Amino acid sequence: MGIMSFLRNRAGIIIVGAIGFAIVAFLVSDAVQMGGSFMQGNQTEVGEVDGKSISILEFNEKVEQNTNNFKQQMGQSNLDPQMTSYIIENTWNQSISQILMSKEMSRLGLQVSKNELNDLVSGKNPDPQIIQNFGDPQTGQLNRMQLNAFLENVKSQPASSPVSQQWTAFLLNIRENKLAQKYTNLIKNSLYVTSLEAREDYDQRNKLANFSFVNLEYSSVPDNQVKLTDQDYSDYYKENIYRFKNPLEKRSFEYIVFDANPSKADSADIKAMVAKTAAEFRAATNDSLFVSINAETKMPITYVRKGQLEPALDSAVFSASNGAFIGPLFTGGVYKMVKVLDLKVGPDSVKASHILLNPATEGGIDKAKAKADSIRGVIAKGGSFTELAAKFGTDASKDSGGDLGTFARGAMVPAFEEAVFNGKTGDLKVITTQFGVHVIKINAQIGSSRVAKVAIVDKSFSASNKTQQEAYSKATSFLTVAKDAETFDAEAKKAGYAKLLADNVIATQSSIPGLDSPREMVRWVFGADKGDVSNQVFEMGSKFAVARVVDIFKEGTLPLDQVKKDIEPMVMKRVKARMLIEKMEKALAGSKSIDQVAQKVGRAVTPVQNIVFANPVIPGLSQENVLVGTLFGSQPGKLSKPIEGDQGVFVFIVNGFSKPAPLTNAFKQKVQVSQGLAQRASGEAFKALRDNSKIKDNRVKFF
């Protein structure tokens, strides 16, 4: 209901901090070295980092914890495959980073002592996370009374209790963050910028170049006039071989989708069923029962504020009157019918406190209610809600006097929300929810806006079983005749099926164009050989697919034949450049000015003003690093040789340079350069750790 234990409420902060400790976890993921068959090796290890294994049990515990934290942060009970994949990826990067950093910290002798950790919790300068969790929201200062009360509560708990375990994890996170801070400071303090470097940086940012150029665009040469040879490909490959290092294994595969889209008959049946349901809903006298039986998503009947429903429904509801029936409306692939049960003006948010009693420890629900009534009576006669919450409360809010803070509609379960939003400031109420029995005090109601109490029944527009079975039968029939690469292509062409290509897929990829939840198919691809056709029909929602492995790109430097297609545009540009350079050289022969060169090639001279080395963008063109770098090393008044640029071939002449004012404060410039280096230092350091680490990723076997 949005009321969790203290650390559960702040679990998002804990995991964000843990992931934050992995400063460049995204860099680590690039270093994953697959190697060998994905379906071989240890069946209990999800991976290995520099010889340290990560067990699937350990990893699953982290995934589960991060999943729960993510759900709390996002306010969602169910996660789609993309969100789940995101959590698994973050957990993996977090695990790798922690192992690499632990090893590096140990090598450097960095540590956080027990006294230092205690000081970070309750010393003069506590860790920002402590202040964030135990701070006074009014002053922003640490509430030491609240902190000490919580620490006493932890001491009274056994080490195996959830609170103790979560507090231990929280302390470990503070320790790791402090270690990461020490490591980062160590790197930053090792950086030094000389006065010469500061002056060079100043010149690169402030020295201006004025020049004129003539260019011949690569697009001016039609592709069909260019003949590429094997030598052209080989030369480009050898000169740029560093570009073809594959950090992790990738695979490409073709697949055919058999989509069970609703047929015309399905559409007619669905519309008839929705019309019948709407008529029954309109006449129903027990709306809660009708919704629970007939709605697909079982939305609770409660008040909603404007903007909580999808636009079409929202507009209709808040334009209606009490008792109105809306729909069926078709929105987002779903038919929706709505009864507007009440319209009124209510508070936007509520500030409340509660005392939660657990019926299991009170001897049953009746005894818990009786005790709650007694507590309410004591409070009504002047008893301290804060003291009673600390004494009788069973959730973490007792440590703050039962205070739940301020929350808007939708943050609590319906029964709790009904009580606090429909009451008035100062009310004391006793209610029962799935979490237990609550004594509630409404401290304040903030704002006011029109709200509507709605009952909603939805019916999705989906294919019938018959239609889905027909699609599955087509896929199965295709699979029986498509035994290899040759028959896969031939039968697809014969039947008129469109082949889709998933190119350069990694083992942990969770999304494939046109498919939902393709993980089972990806796992099969990474256990198959080149040319294999899947031995099963993959079912993904209302879609069925059959796949064939097209190519396997092993970890390491890719051979020319595997990158030939990818580098063709670059090789084409390289050959066009040779052709255009030859044309420019002929134009330069005997020319004494840029105008003469332009006249010979039939192009205009383009003047450019105030270009700086640090920002090599030519107005009207694009970033031209080679051109700008060359002109800043040229002498004014001298025609250049042809320059092979990014968009074409250039000839230029520098008209002059405007030097900046002398640098009067070298120290300030050194500080600016140092700050830029410091921002990149941590990332570069982690990249070095990554590049020198051996990482095996076996997640494809488990997820």
Q: What is the pLDDT of residues 281-301, one digit of tens each?
A: 999 999 989 999 999 888 888
Q: How far apart are CA 193 and CA 666, in angstroms?
A: 10
**What's the longest Cα–Cα distance across the chain?**
106
Q: Does residue 126 have a cis peptide bond before it, meaning omega lies within 30 degrees of 0? A: no
Residue 139's pLDDT band (boundaries 50, 70, 90)? confident
Residue 257's pLDDT band (boundaries 50, 70, 90)? very high
Stretch 645-672: mean pLDDT: 92
Stretch 22-31: mean pLDDT: 37
Residue 409's pLDDT band (boundaries 50, 70, 90)? confident
What pLDDT score does 76 carry? 63
What pLDDT score does 188 carry? 86
Q: How far apart are CA 649 and CA 575, in angstroms?
A: 12
Stronger pLDDT, 501 or 67, i.e. the higher one: 501
Q: Could you tell me the domains of the chain? A: 6-189+693-701 (no CATH), 208-247+561-658 (no CATH), 251-261+464-553 (3.10.50), 264-346 (no CATH), 349-446 (3.10.50.40)
* Contact between 439 and 430 (Cβ < 8 Å): yes
Would you mind telling me the total number of residues written for the chain in this entry? 703
Asked if the model's pLDDT at residue 18 lies above 60, the reply is no
DSSP letters, 485-541, are HHHHHHHHHHHTPPPEEEEEEETT---BTTBSS-HHHHHHHTTS-TT-B-SSPEEET
Q: What is the average pLDDT score of the chain? A: 87
Place of tokens 């609550």: 438
How many C-beta atoms lie closer than 10 Å to residue 345's C-beta? 8
Query: Highest mean pLDDT: which of 203-217, 300-314, 337-351, 414-428?
Result: 203-217
Q: How far apart are CA 1 and CA 11, in angstroms?
A: 16
What pLDDT score does 135 carry? 78
Q: Cβ contacts of residue 57 below 8 Å, gap of 6+?
A: 44
Residue 72's pLDDT band (boundaries 50, 70, 90)? low
Q: How far is CA 568 from CA 53, 233, 246, in A?
A: 41, 8, 18
Place of tokens 């509520």: 350
Residue 362's pLDDT band (boundaries 50, 70, 90)? confident
Q: How far apart are CA 337 and CA 325, in angstroms?
A: 7
For residue 182, the number of C-alpha atoms closer than 13 Å in the C-beta half-sphere is 18
What pLDDT score does 31 carry? 35
What pLDDT score does 241 carry? 94
What pLDDT score does 30 carry? 39
Q: Which class for 140: exposed (0-12), middle (13-18), buried (19 or more C-beta within 10 A)?
A: exposed
* Parallel, antiparallel or unpaired: strands 334-346 and 449-460: antiparallel
Place of tokens 């930053």: 188
Stronger pLDDT, 353 or 129, i.e. the higher one: 353
* Contact between 126 and 120 (Cβ < 8 Å): yes
SS3 255: strand
Bridge partners (DSSP) of residue 334 are 331, 460
Asked if the model's pLDDT at residue 383 lies above 80, the reply is yes
Q: Among 478, 382, 496, 495, which residue's Cα sits nearest to residue 428? A: 382
- Of 205-219, 348-362, 605-619, the range with the lowest mean pLDDT is 348-362
- DSSP annotation of 350 reads E
What pLDDT score does 472 carry? 94
Q: How far apart are CA 19 and CA 87, in angstroms?
A: 11
- What are φ and ψ of residue 594, in 5° steps? -65, -30
Tokens of 210: 């004025």
Q: How far apart are CA 256 and CA 497, in angstroms?
A: 7
* Contact between 54 and 48 (Cβ < 8 Å): yes
Asked if the model's pLDDT at residue 42 lies above 70, the reply is no
Q: How far is CA 59 from CA 210, 246, 702, in A?
A: 59, 26, 11
Stronger pLDDT, 645 or 14, i.e. the higher one: 645
Asked if the model's pLDDT at residue 22 lies above 60, the reply is no
Stretch 525-548: mean pLDDT: 93
What H or E segment, with its residue span, contains residue 14? helix 11-21
* Contact between 642 and 650 (Cβ < 8 Å): yes
Query: Highest mean pLDDT: which of 81-85, 195-199, 503-507, 606-610?
Result: 606-610
Asked if the model's pLDDT at residue 631 lies above 80, the reply is yes
- Of 3-17, 55-69, 167-181, the range with the lowest mean pLDDT is 3-17
- DSSP annotation of 659 reads P
**Whole-number percent of the chain with pLDDT over 90:** 48
Residue 312's pLDDT band (boundaries 50, 70, 90)? confident
What pLDDT score does 435 carry? 86
What pLDDT score does 138 carry? 66
